[in-house]
């Protein structure tokens, strides 16, 4: 920033003169002019007289003029020194703090590994070399399929591609399969999946139950106090053992509270679930198998279809690996009230998952289920004592935050209290009718 200019004629970059110093300078210039004039006149007279009658007058007058000039110079120097001793305020450049826009954090390391496995290697290199955000990668991928969309990129992002090597990038990706980014992130990033699962849900169902979508869709199915979340092990096995027609039929039966006319369909699905469990026998524990059989034997499969999900949500759940569903189940009963952990967790993190929001935190939103599982398994036993799995998960999410979000704090306790005071879980009678319960405290 340039110094503030002082009134008066000054050249750019020169220090400004005070009024006192300017006055002294002016007076000195006047005196010097008068003396110079006298010396010039003396020289003229000396020349005239010397030529006529007094030849020695010329050197005398010259010496007198030289002495006068030296005396005048000495006086000027003394005057200037006195002026310098006077404190003169000088304009000092004002330091203005630099204002910078907050740039979205880059793609976290675990997600970069997923990208490297799903896309050509050059795309992973681009993300690392040019520090792309997930939003920027979302803009770049369509351009690599259709070069005519280059004009849609921002100048900053276009420059990044040029610096990396746009021609090489286009050439390497021209005939390669580039899967949709939503699909890639859904299959690996468990909170990204939950966000999409919530967004795909019917809008009227949570409103009817008096809950926010992120709370309702992560609650136990049917809001049943003894049920399970839709996206855990049982839900995954169930949706991968039925088709759209059967889903519609069972959803309709649940609305009517009448499963009598679909018993054969339920039995057929149960047999398919049994076969699917054999496929994942190395993952499912004996307790898991017993729990899933219990759900079918006591018609608790009804609750899944009472939850009001649509086919889009079912398809999304079918698209993720079984291991992700197992990760969800690890925390299903992690709260003080069973099967409510994900309701509380999403009450904390949901605002951080929106890419268009200033609160977006990719370190949390793009954490992979593999990372979560490995970190849970590697935690020492003493670190897990006297703390719920849900709190452990919130600690791990805070650790991976790229925006300094701390989830286990007073705000977290407020969210828990606020959510738990409004949710209502129900028991069901033998006819499948809800028996209302008081809100949990």
Residues 212 and 143 in one domain: no
pLDDT of residue 286: 94
E strands, 340-385, in order: none
| Pair (74, 137) in one structural domain | no
Q: Per the domain annotation, does 8 fall within a domain? A: no
Read out DSSP for 14-58? SPPPPHHHHHHHHHHHHHHHHHHHHHHHHHHHHHHHHHHT-TTHH
Asked if residue 306 belongs to a domain, the reply is yes
In a domain, 102, yes or no: no
Can you tell me the distance from the alpha carbon of 58 to that of 51, in angstroms, rounded to the nearest whole number?
9
Domain end position, chosen among 128, 154, 178: 178
| Residue 105 placed within a domain | no
Q: For residue 75, is it within any domain?
A: yes
User: Are 366 and 271 members of one domain?
Assistant: yes
Which of 128-137, 183-192, 225-234, 366-375 is the least confident region?
225-234
Provide the Cα torsion 270, 276, 278, 284; round to 10°: -90
Q: Do 140 and 277 belong to one domain?
A: no
The answer to the question of residue 6 being in a domain is no
The parent domain of residue 134 ranges over 120-178
Do residues 383 and 238 both lie within one domain? Answer: yes
Q: Give yes or no: residues 311 and 335 share one domain.
A: yes
76 and 168: one domain?
A: no
Same domain, 226 and 173: no
> What average pLDDT does the segment 29-54 reach?
55
- Lowest-pLDDT choice from 19-23, 37-41, 103-107, 109-113: 19-23
What are phi and psi for residue 87, nearest 5 degrees?
-70, 120
Same domain as 161, residue 47: no
- Is residue 100 included in any domain, yes or no? no
Q: Distance between CA 232 and CA 333 in Å, rounded?
A: 11
Q: 271 and 167 in one domain?
A: no
Q: Please tell me whether residues 195 and 300 are part of one structural domain.
A: yes
Give the pLDDT score at 413. Answer: 57
Residue where a domain stops, chosen among 155, 178, 201: 178
Distance CA(325)–CA(11), nearest Å, equals 74
Q: What is the pTM of this model?
A: 0.74
Q: Is the pLDDT at 9 greater than 50, yes or no?
A: no
Boundary residue ending a domain (30, 60, 84): 84
Mean pLDDT score across all residues of the chain: 80
pLDDT tens per residue, range 60-107: 655 555 565 566 556 555 554 554 444 444 444 444 344 344 556 799
141 and 200 share one domain: no
The number of folded domains in the chain is 3
Mean pLDDT, rounded, for 113-121: 97
Alpha carbon 248 to its chain centroid, in Å, reads 39
**pLDDT given at position 336:** 47
Signed CA dihedral, 123, 125, 128, 129: sign only: negative
Q: 17-21, 69-73, 119-123, 401-405: which has the highest mean pLDDT?
A: 119-123
């Amino acid at each position: 920033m340039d110094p503030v200019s002082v009134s008066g004629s000054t050249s750019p970059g020169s220090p400004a003169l005070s009024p006192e110093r300017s006055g002294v300078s002016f007076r000195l210039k006047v005196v010097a002019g008068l003396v110079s004039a006298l010396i010039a006149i003396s020289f003229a007279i000396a020349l005239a007289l010397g030529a006529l009658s007094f030849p020695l007058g010329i050197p005398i007058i010259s010496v007198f003029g030289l002495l006068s000039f030296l005396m005048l110079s000495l006086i000027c120097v003394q005057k200037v020194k006195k002026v310098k001793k006077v404190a003169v305020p000088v304009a000092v450049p004002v330091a203005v703090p630099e204002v910078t826009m907050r740039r979205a954090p880059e793609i976290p390391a675990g997600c970069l590994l997923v990208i490297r496995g799903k896309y050509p290697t050059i795309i992973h290199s681009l993300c690392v070399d040019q520090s792309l955000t997930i939003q920027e990668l979302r803009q770049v991928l369509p351009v690599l399929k259709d070069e005519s969309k280059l004009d849609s990129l921002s100048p900053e992002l276009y420059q990044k591609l040029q610096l990396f090597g746009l021609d090489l990038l286009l050439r390497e990706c021209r005939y390669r399969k580039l899967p949709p980014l939503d699909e890639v992130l859904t299959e690996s990033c468990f909170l990204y999946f939950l966000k999409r699962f919530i967004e795909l849900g019917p809008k009227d169902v949570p409103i009817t139950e008096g809950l926010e979508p992120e709370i309702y869709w992560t609650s136990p199915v049917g809001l049943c106090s003894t049920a399970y979340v839709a996206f855990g092990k049982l839900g995954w096995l169930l949706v991968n053992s039925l088709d759209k027609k059967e889903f519609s039929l069972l959803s309709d039966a649940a609305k009517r509270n009448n499963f009598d006319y679909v018993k054969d369909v339920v039995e057929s699905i149960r047999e398919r679930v049994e076969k699917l469990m054999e496929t994942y026998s190395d993952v499912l524990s004996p307790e898991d198998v017993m729990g899933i059989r219990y759900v079918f034997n006591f018609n608790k499969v009804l609750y899944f279809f009472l939850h009001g999900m649509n086919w889009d949500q079912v398809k999304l759940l079918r698209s993720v690996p079984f291991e992700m569903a197992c990760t969800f189940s690890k925390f299903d009963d992690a709260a003080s009230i069973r099967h409510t952990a994900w309701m509380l967790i999403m009450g904390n993190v949901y605002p951080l998952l929106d890419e268009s929001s200033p609160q977006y935190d990719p370190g949390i939103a793009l954490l992979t289920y593999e990372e979560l599982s490995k970190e849970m398994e590697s935690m020492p036993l003493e670190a897990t004592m006297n703390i719920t799995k849900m709190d452990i998960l919130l600690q791990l999410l805070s650790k991976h935050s790229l925006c300094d979000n701390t989830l286990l704090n007073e705000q977290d306790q407020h969210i828990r209290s606020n959510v738990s005071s409004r949710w209502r879980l129900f028991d069901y009678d033998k006819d499948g009718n809800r028996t209302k319960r008081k809100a949990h405290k």
